[in-house]
Each structure stands twice: as structure tokens, then as C-alpha cells.
């Protein structure tokens, strides 16, 4: 007989994340006329408040009814032309999928292959751009936080490499699993196009793809030759300025976004970032100090504050840990993907969560690992995390 799960399902994947009750309540509305005269009073402040999260004064925010993948396509198709050369790095499945999209859209993609567990290499990017004396490379694309491996790249360092090479390429950042969870500074870091999704740090269901385009990207848009219809900046610019959309928006999700922004601002963005670091460090202590396991991230400078990818011991299948956790303890963990399939499991720790919620995930992982034969001491991971949190109070 299948086990009947009571209580809450424990969701600890790196997105979608837990949805606070306040946001669920904000989305629980009857359908409304998206063109009524009061809509601009609601929608126009959303753009300005998203700019605060992105730390930009100059960017223009576009909110699409789509997944983050749609935001990827909007960012590329509105700013580039067929055959344009672009430079990017592959160090996980999501950077790989973005590369696949670039190629399928007709871009000429130069890929820097990185070891999975490392982030984007500023020195290599700078070297390639410095050699591009004719400035044929039109864009540099970096995934800020690669959830496959639990790695966060240094966006400011890559910006410096671009500047040191005196190269005019546009700088594109996939911030889907970083924005609203870890520090992101669009203007200060010289990001020309930032990409965000609703189901991560914004604590919403999937369904809003958010793009912010800076002045250079908006200028490039004027001559961009890639085809676009649904994701057209032009259509959005014509209608967004008056508070409306060129097609039917998801009003429940937009109402939820309003409440998510309220929650973030009430806590304070700096406090949000500190909380994510502190909670992530507790998970890292559980893995390394408590269980004696290694992370996929090769160095501490690359360790992500939104997801920790934990390598399983030789001879253990990470997929069995994940399956046992789900079937036996109603705990959802992130799987190892592509090159790291079966080699690790991932604990997502972003959005709406606290120490006790993470204690339940760590305890569930401990039980699942012991069930499949991993020799970890009961309570070791929970104990290491708790001692860290006790010694480093919020």
C-alpha cells in the first residue's frame, strides 16, 4: 500500500520555491478586466519596484507571461541579428540550454567550456575579447547562478574583463535563480540585459519572465534583425508606458508579484541577501562538516547561496537518495543533471524559508542517505547546521 503523506510536502529544489501565504492570498482573486481605468495605478509601480530589486535606474523592465526560457528568448531576439557572434560559457545544464537557444535562433556562438563546478572565467573572457580587434563579438552571456552545480559566477569580475579589453559587446546575465536572493547590481556591474523568472527568489509560481534592458541594449534593439512577435520589445514599449500590455497578462501572477515585492522590501534587500548566505552556509556545514561530503562547487568562491549541490560517495547513486527522500519522507530534492547525473543531489534554499525548515530537509536527507547505505552519523548534518546558526544569529 502506498504511504499516505500528511503534513506539508517538503519542497527543497532550486525552484519553484515555497510560496508564502500572503502571496497565495494575493493571487486568489476573481478575474478582472486587464484594461480597466485603474490598472495603470497598479501596473506602473511594478516596473519601478522591479528596478529596485535589480538595482537599476536606467533599465526598462518588461514583464512577459512566460517562463524564464521565454525571457531568455526575449533578451536575445530583441537585441541581436542573425549571424551575430556571441561569447558564452558552458558549466551546467542551464548554460547549455541557453547556448542551444542561441544556436537555434541563428547566432554564431563561441563557447568557453568550463569544468562543471567552476564559474565563468573572467580572464579567458577578457583574453578572447582583447583579441577581437574588429569587435565582431556582439554579446557576452553569463548564467549568474548555475543551479546544476550550485555555482555562482562573479559578474563584476567579468564586467571588469570586458572593460579592460575595451570591448563594446553587450553584457547579458541570466539571473533567474539569483535575482531577489543574492546580491545583484545591474547598473554598478554594467549589465546591459538582466533576465529573471518569477518562480525563484520572487516566491511565485512559474509564469512571469522578466527582462530588464539597459540603454545600450535598447539602442541595439533599434537595429536588431532577429524575428520576434510575442516577445517584441516594440509592442511592450507602446503599451507598457500607459500601464497596459499588448496581450492578456496574468493578473493573478501580477497581483502576487506586487505582494512579493512588498515582502522583500519589508525585510530589506540587504537582509534578504544576508539571510540567504547564512542559511546556505548552514547547509554547507551540514554537508562538509557533518556528513564529510564534498560539494560540486570546486572552490568556496563559487558556492551558491541559493542551492547546494552535494556529491555522493563513490559507489552511491544520487538518484537513489533523491527517490528515497521523495517516496519515503515526502521530501523533494534537486537531481543531478547531464554530466553530474547520479553523482550528486541538490538542496535548494532560496525564497521563503528559515532555519527550522532547512533542518527538516537536512534530517530527511540524512535518513534517505542512510536508507541507501551511505555511512553518515544520525544527526550529524543537523547538528553541524544548527551549531553554525546558533553561533551566527540573524
Q: Is 168 helix (H, G, I), strand (E, B) or coil?
A: coil
Helical pair 355-371 and 269-285, crossing angle rounded to 10 deg: 30
pLDDT in the model for residue 394: 87
Cα–Cα separations (whole angstroms), residue 360 to 8, 9, 154, 357: 11, 11, 31, 5
Domains and CATH numbers, the chain: 21-265 (3.40.640.10), 268-391 (3.90.1150.10)
In whole angstroms, give the CA distance from residue 295 to residue 32. Answer: 47
In whole angstroms, give the CA distance from residue 306 to residue 273. Answer: 10
pLDDT tens by residue, 147-201: 999 999 999 999 999 999 999 999 999 999 999 999 999 999 999 999 999 999 9
Query: pLDDT band at 283, cuts 50/70/90?
Result: very high
**288 near 231, Cβ under 8 Å?**
no
Percent of the chain scoring above 90 in pLDDT: 96
pLDDT in the model for residue 3: 60
pLDDT in the model for residue 4: 60
Q: What is the mean pLDDT of the chain?
A: 97
Phi, psi (degrees; rounded to nearest 5) at 367: -65, -45
Strand ranges of the sheet holding 60-65, from the earlier edge strand across to the other edge: 60-65, 208-213, 193-197, 170-174, 137-143, 85-90, 108-113
Closest CA to 143 of 104, 165, 163, 114: 114
**258 near 26, Cβ under 8 Å?**
yes
Amino acid at each position: 500500500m502506498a504511504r499516505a503523506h500528511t503534513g506539508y510536502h517538503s519542497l527543497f529544489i532550486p525552484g519553484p520555491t515555497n510560496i508564502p501565504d500572503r502571496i497565495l492570498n494575493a493571487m486568489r482573486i476573481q478575474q478582472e478586466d486587464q484594461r480597466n481605468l485603474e490598472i495603470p495605478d497598479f501596473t506602473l509601480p511594478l516596473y519601478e519596484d522591479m528596478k529596485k530589486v535589480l538595482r537599476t535606474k536606467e533599465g526598462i523592465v518588461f514583464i512577459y507571461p512566460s517562463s524564464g526560457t521565454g525571457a531568455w528568448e526575449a533578451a536575445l531576439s530583441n537585441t541581436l541579428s542573425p549571424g551575430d557572434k556571441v561569447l558564452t560559457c558552458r558549466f551546467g545544464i542551464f548554460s547549455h540550454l541557453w547556448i542551444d537557444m542561441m544556436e537555434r535562433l541563428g547566432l554564431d556562438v563561441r563557447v568557453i567550456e568550463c569544468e562543471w563546478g567552476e564559474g565563468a572565467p573572467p580572464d579567458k573572457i577578457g583574453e578572447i575579447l582583447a583579441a577581437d580587434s574588429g569587435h565582431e563579438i556582439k554579446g557576452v552571456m553569463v548564467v549568474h547562478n548555475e543551479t546544476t552545480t550550485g555555482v555562482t559566477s562573479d559578474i563584476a569580475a567579468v564586467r571588469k574583463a570586458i572593460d579592460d579589453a575595451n570591448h563594446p559587446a553587450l553584457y547579458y546575465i541570466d539571473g533567474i535563480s539569483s535575482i531577489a536572493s543574492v546580491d545583484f547590481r545591474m547598473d554598478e556591474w554594467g549589465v546591459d540585459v538582466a533576465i529573471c523568472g518569477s518562480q525563484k527568489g520572487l516566491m511565485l509560481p512559474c509564469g512571469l519572465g522578466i527582462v530588464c534592458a539597459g540603454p545600450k541594449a535598447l539602442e541595439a534593439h533599434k537595429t536588431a534583425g532577429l524575428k520576434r512577435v510575442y516577445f517584441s520589445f516594440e509592442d511592450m514599449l507602446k503599451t507598457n508606458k500607459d500601464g497596459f500590455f499588448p496581450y492578456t497578462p496574468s493578473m493573478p501572477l501580477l497581483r502576487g508579484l506586487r505582494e512579493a515585492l512588498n515582502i522583500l522590501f519589508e525585510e530589506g534587500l540587504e537582509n534578504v541577501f544576508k539571510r540567504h548566505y547564512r542559511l546556505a552556509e548552514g547547509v554547507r556545514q551540514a554537508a562538509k562538516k557533518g556528513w564529510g561530503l564534498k560539494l560540486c562547487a570546486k572552490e568556496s568562491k563559487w558556492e551558491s547561496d541559493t542551492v547546494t549541490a552535494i556529491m555522493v560517495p563513490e559507489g552511491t547513486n544520487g538518484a537513489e537518495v533523491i527517490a528515497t527522500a521523495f517516496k519515503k519522507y515526502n521530501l523533494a530534492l534537486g537531481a543531478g543533471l547531464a554530466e553530474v547525473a547520479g553523482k550528486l543531489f541538490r538542496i535548494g534554499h532560496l525564497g521563503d524559508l528559515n532555519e527550522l525548515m532547512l533542518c527538516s530537509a537536512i534530517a530527511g536527507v540524512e535518513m534517505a542517505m542512510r536508507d541507501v547505505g551511505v555511512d553518515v552519523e544520525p544527526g550529524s548534518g543537523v547538528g553541524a547546521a544548527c551549531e553554525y546558526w546558533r553561533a551566527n544569529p540573524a
